[in-house]
Chains A and B, each alone.
Chain A
């Protein structure tokens, strides 16, 4: 039995400790917002926060996540109120939407560390997340917009 803290709640999972965190989140805890894309940390669809850091849950053993704060897309906000979610809606970023949970979780860390990122900062911070639909121009625009929303909210 492994005890995890996911989106502020303590949960127990009876799984093989070597299981990647991704599958425990999706199948054991039913948090299917975190996606499987490659299983090799190549596409970023499975990005979650571990103690505030963006990690690829498809290659993170669940045992290594025990005792740490895990945040998934379901925990980014409870009511779509995160500046990134607002900006994503305003600019209508998603197409198929499959990669967007991972995009948002990566962007959230980028924005937490850099309140006014340049295009280059965004390209660097977001290059680990693949979008096959090609929403990159809108992701760039939406991150700038979210930064603006965050600044004006203060």
Chain B
């Protein structure tokens, strides 16, 4: 979702309140609360904890408590950079701790603890700096009191308070005890960005060393005393359930301790993964497939195609598109489609639960702590504050670990409750691939008209696909039947086309769907930007020049487009057989443009040689992280463009593991160049915006190379 843009809209603010009941756009820095503070504080000798985000030890250590989940996007480095900048900390003394679940750590817009929507930097941009500045002001006050000088004559630098007049210095650690006795200032001034020392400088990630020697702890690595491992046999059809089962052969497997039925299926409890898995393979289960037994991709596609022939609920209307089409010199129509997709995080889902009479402790990699805690409490029969979640590192998230249904957590609490032992529920790769909560399948019908000079005068876009938010606590974001995440990237088209209509059909189907890196933009980016090239061709225009012309009122996107064209040598000749394609996309408040260089082999294999990317994401905190996210987004987008689909037959998912749901590999990975447009605007998203332009840039390059239009993903030629 495009949170920052939406946040300006009143309806969204109300929705935010409905979602979590939290304070909106709260830039206040919460102090420790009982549940949050006591737990994190117990982990290390804390002497000075002026707020929920920082703790300074007498040993000079500075512990930053990060309320965002680290799933590769670099948030365990970028948020500490914000705090350290204002604290004037010694960067080498920074440690990171994941925040416990507490309202103090709620997202300022959503009112709940969540890592998503590419909002981590934007939403914490002010709060983390204020948290650091508050601590700095108090440390300076403590030194002023000690030295009997006015605080205004002192400054902080590199982990010390300095009295420039006398040359006296005191380390933060030596002032921690005294500072802890002071009252926190009500408000603090933040630095002039010109004075930034850390923000904007390429900074090595704090979590890298632990990821190179095996010491980084992901959810799957957690082990607690007395813990058993559980593997669950789940219904082969979504919405199905167990009719009956026999577990005699399972119980005969050495190491298997118990077999229990839970709402999602049958759980085998063993003293390790292997016996649990062996035991599960020997279960004899009779399933009731339920209402989705005949689900098939073929039938869904037919349904979607039919729906797309008539307009749906109008999401955006400018001018009169029907009239303009009728009067156009030339009209073109095309239909685009993309499949269901699994997130396929490298670390399959898992969850450790220690359920006691009055408490429930959970260790897992999640992006959605507040909702998960409420869901776990409901299953455990406890109050939410009796449930604590330890957020581990995430072996990839991409949205799968931000499930409003909390599926993998709810199930694990059920297993722990039934088995009456601490358990780690482990999903196999097959379980993970077939476990649902996919990026929805989408079908888009596009019609456009150009005038006699070849300029677009009308654009209509009919979108067909399931709602992600319906039936979740985020349903408040559905306005007049329009799930904003279904039309994002289409309804907010930046091109200046005088007559525009975007409408939506939202069929209800039994496939569980969820946000998947770049959400609605992941399909709208493809449909809009690939069709744009068809419109340019119909009007006899160069795809780059036409974009540039229609972006005359969008200076930031236009600058990004011009930069990528320059860096990619747009218009210059290429070796024979290679085609160049361009695409732009605005998402998560960031502007991205990409150029792909592609060739197609005789057998139809698509080879992507080079991807050039330009991005304007406002002020950059860590440039190397922005580059890494664009690189990663491009590889993620290429996997979707070239490789994968989740399909159904007789209600069952056909794919299972990396042989039939493959990932792009290093030998298929192009040369990637990323260029950042300098900006002094507030920071915007970087985790997701790199994905949407990839597929259309590749599709447009294929057209340039072969003359064939690509309107369906994954791309299958020949």
Say whether B658 faces chain A, with CB atoms less than 8 Å apart.
yes
> Which residues on the B side are within 8 Å of A27 (C-beta)?
223, 229, 272-273
**How far, in Å, is B365 (CB) from chain A's closest CB?**
9
Say whether A2 faces chain B, with CB atoms less than 8 Å apart.
no
> Which residues on the A side are within 8 Å of B633 (C-beta)?
134
Say whether A89 faces chain B, with CB atoms less than 8 Å apart.
yes
Asked whether B666 lies within 8 Å of A122 as measured between CB atoms, the reply is yes
Asked whether A73 lies within 8 Å of B348 as measured between CB atoms, the reply is no
Asked whether B272 lies within 8 Å of A73 as measured between CB atoms, the reply is no
Say whether B394 faces chain A, with CB atoms less than 8 Å apart.
yes
Asked whether B346 lies within 8 Å of A136 as measured between CB atoms, the reply is no
- Which residue of the partner chain B has the closest CB to A77? B213
Query: Per-residue 0/1 for A48-92: is the Cβ within 8 Å of any B Cβ (1 yes, 0 no)?
Result: 000000000000000000000000111011001000010011001
Near A by CB (< 8 A), chain B positions 213-233 give: 213-218, 220-221, 223, 229
- Which residue of the partner chain B has the closest CB to A73? B214
**How far, in Å, is A75 (CB) from chain B's closest CB?**
9
Q: Which of B74, B214, B426 contacts A33 (CB 8 A)?
A: B214
> Which residues on the B side are within 8 Å of A77 (C-beta)?
213
Query: Per-residue 0/1 for A111-154: is the Cβ within 8 Å of any B Cβ (1 yes, 0 no)?
Result: 00000000000111011011111111111100000000000000
Q: Which of A122, A127, A134 contacts B631 (CB 8 A)?
A: A134
> Which residues on the A side are within 8 Å of B395 (C-beta)?
35, 96-98
When A27-B272, A129-B666, A137-B631 are in contact, do A94 and B212 touch as well, CB less than 8 Å?
A: yes
Asked whether B346 lies within 8 Å of A130 as measured between CB atoms, the reply is yes
Say whether A12 faces chain B, with CB atoms less than 8 Å apart.
no
**How far, in Å, is A15 (CB) from chain B's closest CB?**
8
When A20-B274, A32-B217, A45-B346 are in contact, do A95 and B628 touch as well, CB less than 8 Å?
A: yes
Near A by CB (< 8 A), chain B positions 57-79 give: 70-74
> Which residues on the B side are within 8 Å of A39 (C-beta)?
428-429, 657
Say whether B672 faces chain A, with CB atoms less than 8 Å apart.
yes
- Which residue of the partner chain B has the closest CB to A20? B274
> Which residues on the B side are within 8 Å of A36 (C-beta)?
220, 273, 348, 426
When A92-B624, A132-B345 are in contact, do A97 and B216 touch as well, CB less than 8 Å?
A: yes
> Which residues on the A side are within 8 Å of B218 (C-beta)?
35, 98
- Which residue of the partner chain A has the closest CB to B637? A134
> Which residues on the A side are within 8 Å of B194 (C-beta)?
none
The segment from B34-42, B202-210, B326-334, B702-710 that touches chain A is B202-210
Say whether B669 faces chain A, with CB atoms less than 8 Å apart.
yes
Say whether B109 faces chain A, with CB atoms less than 8 Å apart.
no
Q: CA separation between A46 and B51, bound complex, in Å?
A: 41
- Count chain B CB atoms within 10 A of each CB in A26, A98, A123, A139 and give the residue with the most: A98
Q: CA separation between A95 and B635, bound complex, in Å?
A: 13
Asked whether B347 lies within 8 Å of A40 as measured between CB atoms, the reply is no
> Which residues on the A side are within 8 Å of B664 (C-beta)?
134, 136
When A96-B394, A130-B658 are in contact, do A135 and B211 touch as well, CB less than 8 Å?
A: no
Say whether B671 faces chain A, with CB atoms less than 8 Å apart.
yes
> Which residues on the B side are within 8 Å of A38 (C-beta)?
429, 657-658
**How far, in Å, is A128 (CB) from chain B's closest CB?**
8
Asked whether B208 lies within 8 Å of A92 as measured between CB atoms, the reply is yes
Say whether B659 faces chain A, with CB atoms less than 8 Å apart.
yes
> Which residues on the A side are within 8 Å of B207 (C-beta)?
94, 97
Q: CA separation between A30 and B657, bound complex, in Å?
A: 26
**How far, in Å, is B372 (CB) from chain A's closest CB?**
19
Asked whether B428 lies within 8 Å of A89 as measured between CB atoms, the reply is no
Q: CA separation between A35 and B273, bound complex, in Å?
A: 13
Query: Per-residue 0/1 for B460-481: is the Cβ within 8 Å of any A Cβ (1 yes, 0 no)?
Result: 0000000000000000000000
Asked whether B393 lies within 8 Å of A16 as measured between CB atoms, the reply is no
Say whether A34 faces chain B, with CB atoms less than 8 Å apart.
yes
Q: CA separation between A124 and B665, bound complex, in Å?
A: 10
> Which residues on the B side are within 8 Å of A74 (C-beta)?
213-214
Interface size class of B (residues with CB under 8 A): 35 or more
Q: CA separation between A34 and B215, bound complex, in Å?
A: 10
> Which residues on the A side are within 8 Å of B628 (C-beta)?
92, 95, 135, 138
> Which residues on the A side are within 8 Å of B393 (C-beta)?
96-97
When A96-B71, A136-B666 are in contact, do A89 and B345 touch as well, CB less than 8 Å?
A: no
**How far, in Å, is A121 (CB) from chain B's closest CB?**
11
Q: CA separation between A97 and B74, bound complex, in Å?
A: 11
Q: Which of A34, A89, A124, A132 contacts B208 (CB 8 A)?
A: A89
Say whether B667 faces chain A, with CB atoms less than 8 Å apart.
yes
Say whether B240 faces chain A, with CB atoms less than 8 Å apart.
no
- Which residue of the partner chain B has the closest CB to A18? B274
> Which residues on the B side are within 8 Å of A80 (C-beta)?
209, 212-213
- Which residue of the partner chain B has the closest CB to A88? B212
**How far, in Å, is B433 (CB) from chain A's closest CB?**
10
> Which residues on the A side are within 8 Å of B216 (C-beta)?
97
Q: CA separation between A145 and B624, bound complex, in Å?
A: 17
> Which residues on the B side are within 8 Å of A35 (C-beta)?
218, 220, 346-347, 395
Q: CA separation between A82 and B70, bound complex, in Å?
A: 26
- Count chain A CB atoms within 10 A of each CB in B217, B345, B426, B667 and give the residue with the most: B667
**How far, in Å, is A85 (CB) from chain B's closest CB?**
5
Say whether A31 faces chain B, with CB atoms less than 8 Å apart.
yes
**How far, in Å, is A40 (CB) from chain B's closest CB?**
6
> Which residues on the A side are within 8 Å of B74 (C-beta)?
95
Q: CA separation between A26 and B71, bound complex, in Å?
A: 22
Q: Which of A16, A42, A89, A95 contacts B657 (CB 8 A)?
A: A42
> Which residues on the A side are within 8 Å of B70 (C-beta)?
96
Near A by CB (< 8 A), chain B positions 323-345 give: 344-345
**How far, in Å, is A35 (CB) from chain B's closest CB?**
7
- Which residue of the partner chain B has the closest CB to A33? B214
- Which residue of the partner chain B has the closest CB to A74? B214
Say whether B131 faces chain A, with CB atoms less than 8 Å apart.
no
Say whether B255 faces chain A, with CB atoms less than 8 Å apart.
yes
- Which residue of the partner chain B has the closest CB to A28? B272
**How far, in Å, is A93 (CB) from chain B's closest CB?**
8
Say whether A47 faces chain B, with CB atoms less than 8 Å apart.
no
Can you list 19 A-B contacts with CB-CB less than 8 angstroms, sorted by A residue number? A19-B272, A23-B274, A28-B272, A32-B223, A33-B215, A36-B273, A40-B657, A43-B346, A72-B214, A76-B213, A85-B212, A96-B71, A96-B393, A124-B667, A133-B72, A133-B632, A134-B633, A134-B636, A135-B632
The interface of chain B, by Cβ under 8 A from chain A, is 70-74, 204-205, 207-218, 220-221, 223, 229, 254-255, 272-275, 344-348, 393-398, 426, 428-429, 624, 628, 631-636, 657-659, 663-667, 669, 671-672
Please name 4 further chain A to chain B contacts, defined as beta carbons within 8 Å, in addition to the given A35-B220, A92-B208, sorted by A numbering.
A32-B221, A42-B657, A43-B658, A97-B207
The interface of chain A, by Cβ under 8 A from chain B, is 16, 19-20, 23, 26-28, 30-40, 42-43, 45, 72-74, 76-77, 80, 85, 88-89, 92-101, 104, 122-124, 126-127, 129-140
6 tightest Cβ-Cβ pairs between the two chains A and B: A33-B214, A134-B635, A98-B395, A95-B72, A97-B211, A96-B72
